[in-house]
Chains A and B, each alone.
Chain A
Amino acid sequence: MTSFLQQTFNGLVSGSFYALLALGLAVIFGMLRVVNFAHGAVYMLGAFGAVVLADSAGLGFWWALLLVPLALAVVGTVLERLLIRRLAALDPLYNFLLTFGIALVCQDLLRMKYGSHSQPYDHLPFAGSVDLGLFDFPRYQVFVLAVSVVVCLTVWLLLTRTRIGTIVRAATERPELTRAFGIDTGRWVTPVFGFGVGLAALAGVLAAPMRAVNAAMGGDLIITVFAVVVIGGLGSVFGSVLAGFVIGMLQALGNLYIPVLSQTSVFLLMAVVLLIRPAGLFGKEEHA
Chain B
Amino acid sequence: MILALAGALRRYPAGVRWGLLAAGLLAAFGLPWVLYPPVAADILCWGLFAVAFDLLLGHAGLLSFGHAAFWGTSAYATGLIAIHSGLPFYVAVLGGAAAAALLAAPIGYLAVRRSGIYFAMVTLAFAQMVYFIANQWGDVTGGENGLQGIPRELPGVDLSDSFVFYYAMLPVVLLGLVTAWRIVRSPFGRVVAGVRENPDRVRALGYPVDRYKLVVFVASAFLSGLAGGLYAVNHGFASLQEVYWTTSGKVVVMTVLGGIGTLWGSLIGAAAVVRLEDWLSTAGFEETGLVTGSVFVVTVLVFRRGVWGTLAHLLRYRAAPGTAEPEPHLEHDHDDTAQRVPS
Contact = CB atoms under 8 A, between A and B. Distances in A.
B125 A230 contact: yes
B136, B249, B287, most chain A CB atoms within 10 A: B287
Interface in A46-99: 83, 86-87, 90-94, 96-98
A265 B335 CA distance: 27
12 contacts: A92-B117, A101-B297, A104-B289, A107-B289, A111-B289, A220-B128, A224-B128, A229-B121, A263-B136, A264-B133, A279-B335, A286-B114
Interface string A161-178: 000000000000111110
B310 interface: no
Contacts of B293: 101-105, 108
A114 B111 CA distance: 37
Nearest to B335: A286
Nearest 7 pairs of A and B residues by beta carbon:
A104-B293, A267-B129, A108-B287, A287-B338, A108-B289, A101-B297, A108-B290
B139 interface: no
A238 interface: no
B332 interface: yes
B110 A271 contact: yes
Interface string A206-221: 0000000000000110
A33 B337 CA distance: 11
B294 A35 contact: no
A42 interface: no
A59 B314 CA distance: 56
Majority SS at the chain B contact face: helix
A234 B300 contact: no
Interface of A: 33, 35, 83, 86-87, 90-94, 96-98, 100-105, 107-109, 111-112, 173-177, 219-220, 223-224, 226-227, 229-230, 234-235, 260, 263-264, 266-268, 270-271, 274-275, 278-279, 284, 286-288
Interface of B: 63, 65, 110-111, 113-118, 120-122, 124-126, 128-129, 132-133, 135-136, 199, 245-246, 249, 252-253, 256, 286-290, 292-294, 296-297, 300-301, 304, 327, 329-340, 342
A83 B116 CA distance: 21
B249 A174 contact: no
A101 B115 CA distance: 22
B76 to A, nearest CB: 17
B297 A105 contact: yes
A226 B301 CA distance: 24
Given A94-B300, A275-B110, 9 more contacts: A91-B332, A93-B116, A100-B296, A101-B297, A104-B296, A105-B297, A230-B118, A264-B129, A271-B126
Given A274-B122, A286-B114, A263 B294 contact: no
A98 B330 CA distance: 14
A182 B98 CA distance: 57
A230 B122 contact: yes
A35 B121 contact: yes
Contacts of B287: 108-109, 111-112
Contacts of A219: 245-246
Contacts of A288: 113-115, 199, 334-335
Determine which residue in B301, B304, B327, B342 has the highest number of CB atoms from chain A within 10 A of its CB, and name it.
B301
Given A92-B117, A173-B339, A223-B125, A100 B252 contact: yes
A34 B174 CA distance: 38
Looking at A96, A111, A234, A260, the one whose CB has the most chain B CB atoms below 10 A away is A96
